[in-house]
Amino acid sequence: MRRLDTRIRTIFVALAALFVFAGARAGYLGTVRADALGTEASSQQAITSKVPAPRGDITDRNGTELAVSEAAVDVVANPMIIKSPADLAAKLAPLLGSQPEELLPKLSDRSRGFVYIARRMPAEVGDRIKAMHETGLSLEQTMRRSYPRGQQAGQLLGFVGNEGKGLSGLEYAWNSELQGTDGQRTTVSDALGRPINVADNAMVQKGRDIRLTIDAPLQDEVERVLEGVGRVYQPKGATAVAVDPRTGDILALANWPAVNANDVGSASAYAQLNRASGFTYEPGSTFKSFTISGALQDRVVTPDTQFDLPVELQVGDKTIHDAEDRGPETLPVKEILSKSSNVGAAKIGMRTGAKRFDHWVREFGFGSPTGSGLPGEEAGIVLTPEHYSDATLGNMAMGQGLAVTPLQMIQAYGAIANGGILKPPRLVSEVGGKQLDNSGGHRVISPQTAASVREMLKGVLGEGGTASSAAIPGFDLAGKTGTAQKVDPQTGTYSDSKYIASFIGFAPASKPKLLVAVVVDEPTGEIYGGQVAAPAFSRIMAWALPYLGINPQ
């Protein structure tokens, strides 16, 4: 009996002690640790997360979608709790479009508790991964940029990086407008992790939509023509730009090789470059139009002024001769342009004089970016008169010794086509539903001078001109061929095998509504602008003129 009493007392004391301890513990947690535990409980139940904002859409002039945002997921892993990295890599690889051996190192690195396995995957891929219910694998909601028309205008549009910022092209140049503002959301869950309340602390603000001047069907056709140039002449690259010279609106801007903006990483650095604005070259004979425009405006020549042209012209240490063999002849200015005489252009430039020649070069926009809004636009290279050698003026007058971009050439020819008014090329017409001002531009030559040069340029496509094969029956075309040697970077001298072939022209010649430039970098087989670039110009014009409602004369 005494032993039983002892046991009861022992149990009673133990229970009393346990009760005292529990009370003391409860008091401690309820007073001393109350705030800290409340915070921990709140953080365990309430999770605040970012709600990614869609970027603004980019469309063509008619509203066709060129770049859009869509829901996506980042695939995240915690290698510290993944049971079989090899098995998981084998399951994930087909879904992510990769190989198991590419994923395995990330999934096996147990020194890390967080690692991105894939970024910005389509939402449907996320649904399939979620259905796997794999321990150590999770998804983060985000947005991805998609280019519905694939490789169309890839270099122009550019692309967006993993952090949602534009990294090249218009995506980069207009990032501040296109990028929206992320929202913030708090989700309260119960003990089993089920959401019981969702509150948006800050609302998502989508980026502003941008409407381009580009016409998607015309862009497609220009890209098809350049693809044909690439197939036939195997050049290093080719570029074409189509513009309405009355407004400066760029209707098409294409580069070959093409780049798919959905897969930029597979393209070379050269292919990714938008060469319309980022590539400089010596323009060759296409520049003679400005030599003659300045001389006409200064009234040092007229279209009928005769020049005696020797077989060769010595200017400083340079001997200038024409591309075609000929004897001494006398030609008027208009035929010097249509037959593309180097000797004639050099003599006209020297009659103009270095100071006025430099004035006209810069007045037509050379030596400065066009202001197109494209990132990384080159200014070109134009010497000032104090840096001219004895040969510089004659050399530049025929399109050598200076560097230009295709956009600069389009802008300058636009002044001739547009009655003497130089307008900067324009790519963006509307931002956030608001029309952008397009009233810029200034006069560089008189309407009479512009009309005279347009009339001369018709001869280039006429009988005996350097691009007679590019004529289109029923249409009144004008333009100029160019064939320029490239400088060999190894020797610093002109190459005997690498050329730039180009053509730039407009229609109708009397009142131009469409201006097109084609520049081909290092064609093989044929090298002349009249053989390589002019036919491409003709094919673009033949498709574009009826499409734009421009009727034959």
Q: Are strands 210-212 and 494-507 parallel, antiparallel or unpaired?
A: unpaired
Q: Is residue 114 helix, strand or coil?
A: coil
As a whole number of angstroms, the distance between CA 344 and CA 192 comes to: 88
Q: In degrees, to the nearest 5, what angle opens at C-alpha 87 toward C-alphas 83 and 90?
A: 145
- CA dihedral (23, 28, 30, 33) in degrees, to 10, reads -160
Q: Is residue 511 helix, strand or coil?
A: coil
* C-beta atoms surrounding 80 within 10 Å: 12
Q: Identify the helix (H) or strand (E) that includes residue 184.
A: strand 183-189
Burial (0-12, 13-18, 19+ Cβ within 10 Å), 234: exposed
Give φ, ψ of 548 to 5 degrees: -85, 5
Q: Is 510 a catalytic residue?
A: no
Q: Are strands 115-122 and 421-422 parallel, antiparallel or unpaired?
A: unpaired
Q: Of these residues, 69, 168, 277, 285, which one is catalytic?
A: 285
Give φ, ψ of 518 to 5 degrees: -130, 125
Token code pair at residue 501: 């072939």
Burial 145-173 (b: 16+ CB within 10 A, else e): bbbebebbbbbbbbbbeeebebebbbbbb
Of 164, 158, 124, 125, nearest to 142 by C-alpha is: 164
- CA dihedral (150, 515, 537, 405) in degrees, to 10, reads -70
Kindly report whether the peptide bond that precedes residue 508 is cis, defined as omega within 30 degrees of 0: yes
Of 83, 222, 289, 208, nearest to 517 by C-alpha is: 222
Distances (CA, A) of 265 to 19, 158, 161: 68, 12, 11
- Amino acid, single-letter form, for residue 143: M
Give φ, ψ of 487 to 5 degrees: -80, 130
Cβ atoms of residues 461 and 471 within 8 Å = yes
As a whole number of angstroms, the distance between CA 69 and CA 64 comes to: 14
Token code pair at residue 352: 């103009």
Q: Which residues have a catalytic role annotated?
A: 285
